[in-house]
A and B are shown apart, each in its own frame.
Chain A
Amino acid sequence: MAIDSTQLEETQTSAIRSPIDAPDSVGIITPRSYHFDEPLQLRSGKTLPSYDLMVETYGELNARRSNAILICHALSGDHHAAGYHSANDSKPGWWDSAIGPGKAIDTTKFFVVALNNLGGCAGSTGPTSINPETGKPYGPDFPVVTVRDWVKSQLHLMDRLGIQKWAAVIGGSLGGMQVQRWAISYPDRVANAVCIASAPKLSAQNIAFNEVARYSITSDPNFHAGRYLEHNTYPKHGLMLARMVGHITYLSDSAMRAKFGNAGSQLENTTRGNLGRDLRSGTLSFGLNVDFEVESYLHYQGERFSSNFDANSYLLMTKALDYFDPSVDYGNDLSKAFAEGDCKFLLVSFSTDWRFPPERSRELVETLLKAGREVTYLEVDADQGHDAFLMPIPRYINAMRGFLDNAYKELVTDAS
Chain B
Amino acid sequence: MRPDQEIIQRWIEPDSRVLDLGCGDGSLLANLKQTKGVKGTGLEIDGDKIQSCVERGINVIEQNLDAGLWNFQSDSFDTVLLAQTLQALSHPDQLIDEMLRVGRRGIVTFPNFGNWKSRLYLSSKGRMPVSKFMPHAWYDTPNIHFCTVRDFDALCEEKNIRILERTVVDLKHEGSLSMRLLPNLLGEIAIYHIARS
Contact = CB atoms under 8 A, between A and B. Distances in A.
Interface stretch (B49-57, B138-146, B153-161, B175-183): B49-57
A378 interface: yes
A403 B60 CA distance: 11
Interface stretch (A158-166, A199-207, A364-372): A364-372
Contacts of B53: 376
A405 interface: yes
B61 interface: yes
Interface of chain A: mostly helix, strand, loop or mixed: helix
A342 to B, nearest CB: 11
B14 interface: no
A365 B55 contact: no
A152 interface: no
Interface string B27-67: 00000000000010100000100110111010111110000
A379 B62 contact: yes
Given A366-B71, A369-B71, A375-B41, A402 B62 contact: no
B71 A375 contact: no
A283 B39 CA distance: 64
Contact of B73 (A344, A369, A374, A409): A369
Contacts of A402: 51, 54-55
Residue of B41, B54, B63, B73 with most partner-chain A CB within 10 A: B54
Interface in A327-385: 344, 346, 362, 365-366, 369-370, 372, 374-379
A146 B167 CA distance: 58
Nearest to A403: B54
A280 interface: no
A398 interface: yes
A200 to B, nearest CB: 13
A365 B50 contact: no
B121 interface: no
B103 to A, nearest CB: 13
Nearest to A395: B47
Contact of B61 (A377, A395, A398): A377
Nearest to B73: A370
A145 to B, nearest CB: 33
Size band of the interface chain B makes with A:
10 to 19
B50 A399 contact: yes
A344 B55 contact: no
Contacts of A377: 60-63
Contacts of B47: 395
Interface in B93-150: none
B54 A376 contact: yes
Contacts of A406: 54-55, 57
Nearest to B39: A374
A405 B62 contact: no
A369 B50 contact: no
A167 to B, nearest CB: 14
Contacts of A376: 53-54, 59-61
A362 B47 CA distance: 17
A403 B50 CA distance: 11
Contact of A399 (B51, B59, B76): B51
Residue of B53, B61, B63 with most partner-chain A CB within 10 A: B61
A369 B76 CA distance: 9
A57 B70 CA distance: 42
B57 A375 contact: no
A374 B59 contact: yes
Given A365-B71, A366-B71, A369-B71, A395 B59 contact: no
A202 to B, nearest CB: 21
Given A365-B71, A374-B41, A378-B62, 17 more contacts: A344-B59, A365-B61, A369-B71, A369-B72, A369-B73, A370-B76, A374-B59, A375-B59, A376-B54, A376-B60, A377-B60, A377-B63, A395-B47, A399-B50, A399-B51, A406-B55, A409-B57
Interface of A: 344, 346, 362, 365-366, 369-370, 372, 374-379, 395, 398-399, 402-403, 405-406, 409
11 contacts: A365-B61, A365-B71, A369-B76, A374-B41, A374-B59, A375-B41, A376-B53, A376-B54, A376-B60, A377-B61, A399-B54
